[in-house]
Structure 1
């Protein structure tokens, strides 16, 4: 399969490397010194599941150099999705599939505001990985998985083909009957601790060890659960308990990319995570006091990182 990985960070770098390892023709979209390192030395994957070097690696900053694309995996930050959709629009052919593996609950909607909805499948991923240095991806925890599905909930021929492609790359995969609860489950999971980690400057283990902060995490999750219910997304009643068990199974030192971005003074996914909870809460008349506190406490730092006064 001819695959483009748009964004070669921890997520795109890992899954792209595994897909290339399985024999697919993968092109990595990157920029700056990261791109230069990949072009010169290949893409080095360090993983608890086994290392792999993609060399030579097809890497470019310009997707228009790639022809006859079967699949585009969007692996940038949520605040870049609309821009990326505009960039990829000219290279889409009749059968190109586009899947966002980003955090957030409405990336498919943002994509559909720019490109034809027929190209889009819903998706998400589960992994703890990051760019260790230019050209090097480090997967440190969590069994990497991709969950995807058609927005109309059908098991189409293209979805089944994609399932085979992922399976052949030894990627844990789930072709969902209904992708929306899957998206919201991941959204609840990541939003429960990411921005709160930025606010406290604490690791996941440190937050869970504090009864007060753990209770804030719990309330954050319960607010998100109420929003999902208001939107008509079915989540099981025990979903919060299950997600906390997963959180407790992660390494003590775990931090989220949103937290690391804010602590590094970079633009983050704050708007897509807690900011979206706040906005949807206002839309549906649902109180979201904990997400409100987290969002507005971090907003000045976010605005500073974005150059907003």
Structure 2
């Protein structure tokens, strides 16, 4: 039998990230459930989930089940939570009935603390922390587009005991077999913060100015703001005792100038532009509050947060 073929796997949140991960999982394993509401759920039930992937190619997948809510599910072996941060509590409460002590829960989300929040909302099961580097989004027809030739997921676990580390390694194997590039990290908090520091600049500045990364790079004043946002978030991470180095900070800046595509935009930018609920508190509010709590000077982050709150209220 193929490894993990007997495991029950649920993906909740079928946007860009959840759609990409879910499509590959459903293509590889027989017992995959998607939790998708309304028109999205109906579309997947009728037509399958369509993935347009630069990295993994075109495919249409049909999971074993598509349900409106997780409240009706039996106990699951693996649950991937891929919702926006403002929906996390509701998502976790809906999952409570299908989580046992043996369930492994993987929040694949933005921000620095979704794993801690899941542990707060779901006392049973084992939470594996994660982050993903990916450019992906849902289209109007509920298909998923993944751009560029990479999609890299990292997982790790706070409990360093052998049984918990084995569960983390099992998640890595489960994903890699399905074609989701995944690496297990012994210091997942450092990996999470490397991405989070990037996003404190990337998402916040693209959203405020409604510029692509290339447009920000071309404007010296905006480029300097980007660097300041990175520096402030990096200093907050250091104050929290996260193992991020000067080299990590420099790599994030280098990526801005030389690696990110000219036309790259952010999820926060797209949500603000469309007038949808946003993860402003995740990308901006959290770092400003942590800076205040830790006594770290972060005037640029605070100014951008204030301006974005005003923009979101318009």
CA contact (8 A) 1:97 1:120 kept: yes
Matched, 1:109 2:113: no
Once the two structures are superposed, the pairs formed by residues 67-106 of structure 1 within 5 Å of their partners are 67-106=74-113
Give the 3-state SS of the residue equivalent to 1:102 in structure 2: coil
Match of 2:3? Answer: none
Q: How does the TM-score come out when normalised to structure 2? A: 0.92
Of residues 3, 8, 28 in structure 1, which corresponds to 2:14? 8
* Distance in 2 between residues matched to 1:174 and 1:4, nearest whole Å: 21
Give the 3-state SS of the residue equivalent to 2:134 in structure 1: strand
Match of 1:267? Answer: 277
Q: Which runs of 4+ in 1 moved over 6 A?
A: none
Tell me by how many angstroms 1:250 deviates.
2.5
Tell me by how many angstroms 1:98 deviates.
1.0
* Distance in 2 between residues matched to 1:209 and 1:78, nearest whole Å: 31
Moved more, 114-123 or 160-169: 114-123
Once the two structures are superposed, the pairs formed by residues 144-159 of structure 1 within 5 Å of their partners are 144-154=151-161, 156-159=165-168
* Distance in 2 between residues matched to 1:61 and 1:290, nearest whole Å: 42
Match of 2:67? Answer: 60
Tell me by how many angstroms 1:170 deviates.
1.7
* Distance in 1 between residues matched to 2:245 and 2:183, nearest whole Å: 18
* Distance in 2 between residues matched to 1:264 and 1:226, nearest whole Å: 32
Match of 2:193? Answer: 184
* Distance in 1 between residues matched to 2:149 and 2:274, nearest whole Å: 24
Once the two structures are superposed, the pairs formed by residues 125-164 of structure 1 within 5 Å of their partners are 125-141=132-148, 143-154=150-161, 156-164=165-173
CA contact (8 A) 2:101 2:125 kept: no
Give the 3-state SS of the residue equivalent to 1:113 in structure 2: helix
Matched, 1:299 2:309: yes
* Distance in 1 between residues matched to 2:119 and 2:100, nearest whole Å: 16
How many residues are aligned here?
304
Tell me by how many angstroms 1:246 deviates.
2.8
Instruction: List runs of 5+ in structure 2 lacking aligned partners.
Output: 1-6
Instruction: List runs of 5+ in structure 1 lacking aligned partners.
Output: 305-309
**RMSD between aligned residues:** 1.6
Of residues 209, 220, 225 in structure 2, which corresponds to 1:200? 209
Match of 1:225? Answer: 234
Could you say if the C-alpha distance between residues 178 and 133 of structure 1 is closer, same or farther in structure 2, counting changes exceeding 3 Å?
same
Moved more, 226-235 or 78-87: 78-87
Matched, 1:165 2:174: yes
Matched, 1:249 2:259: yes
Deviation string, structure 1 residues 168-206 (Cα, Å, up to 9, x no partner): 112211101111101111101122111211111111111
Could you say if the C-alpha distance between residues 81 and 142 of structure 1 is closer, same or farther in structure 2, counting changes exceeding 3 Å?
farther
* Distance in 2 between residues matched to 1:170 and 1:153, nearest whole Å: 26
* Distance in 2 between residues matched to 1:280 and 1:78, nearest whole Å: 17
* Distance in 2 between residues matched to 1:18 and 1:139, nearest whole Å: 12
* Distance in 2 between residues matched to 1:210 and 1:60, nearest whole Å: 47
Of residues 52, 68, 71 in structure 2, which corresponds to 1:46? 52
* Distance in 2 between residues matched to 1:122 and 1:113, nearest whole Å: 13
Match of 2:268? Answer: 258
* Distance in 1 between residues matched to 2:254 and 2:48, nearest whole Å: 37
